[in-house]
Amino acid sequence: VSIEGAVNSAVNKGVKLFTATNHIEIRHIDEAESAPDPHFWLDPLAMKNVVTALAAELKTTLNSNTDTRARALEIRLDDLHNNIVSIVSNITPADRKLVTGHDSMGYFTQRYGFQLIGSVVPNLSTQAGVSAADIAALIAQIKEYNVKAIFVESGTSVGMVQQISNATGAAVVELSPIMLPPDGSYFTFMSNLAEKVVNGLK
């Protein structure tokens, strides 16, 4: 059974559904707004909005006082955001240009003042098709903007990335926007991700 199928089955049985994306400003990757970007966890302040809304929902549904724990988590998310701002300040705005394996870093780039130049796979999935024209266009953009690194995720074609790197001189940096670190902490995950991006662009 798929996740979607399991959720629908639970809802049909009367389980209440909380939709996190109802409480954030959803990013789209096309002008027609037909492709919503699901990677909102890469913005701690979006996560803070979700926490606030979820706490209110649980308070109503479970008749439980969630205020104290929710507030503590909101403060931690604010602190995380401020920490990432500090990490990002180690590179100039002119160097905040990202090329990624697929379109996964949009929320992060919007929040922290990066410019998303392009993606090896210009799609929300690493499995989407890429044409020779797409690769040529990305190579031209990397050269034009003097992008220093290509941040790639698991599933991105190694050969394709290496071709682009060879043509541009941009370094290849492995970056996962979904895998938690060994300690299982979202806060460690986001701090590590920010540091890896900044170090790759220095």
pLDDT at 126: 47
Confidence of residue 153 (pLDDT cuts 50, 70, 90): confident
pLDDT at 172 over 50: yes
Count of CA atoms in the C-beta half-sphere (13 A) of 56: 8
202 CB-near residues (< 8 Å, 6+ apart): 90, 91, 95, 148
- Tell me the pLDDT tens digit for each residue of 53-99: 999 999 998 888 899 999 999 999 999 999 999 999 999 999 999 99
**Closest residue by Cα to residue 124 from 31, 37, 32:** 37
Spans of all domains in the chain: 20-87, 91-201
110, 27 Cβ separation under 8 angstroms: yes
pLDDT at 48 over 90: yes
Confidence of residue 169 (pLDDT cuts 50, 70, 90): very high
- Tell me the pLDDT tens digit for each residue of 7-38: 999 999 999 999 999 999 999 876 655 678 89
3-state secondary structure of 95: helix
Please give the share of the chain, as a percent, with pLDDT higher than 70: 94
pLDDT at 32: 57
Count of CA atoms in the C-beta half-sphere (13 A) of 13: 7
40-44: average pLDDT: 98
Count of CA atoms in the C-beta half-sphere (13 A) of 95: 14
Domain topology for 91-201: Rossmann fold (3.40.50)
pLDDT at 77: 99
Pairwise CA distance, residues 143 & 145, whole Å:
6
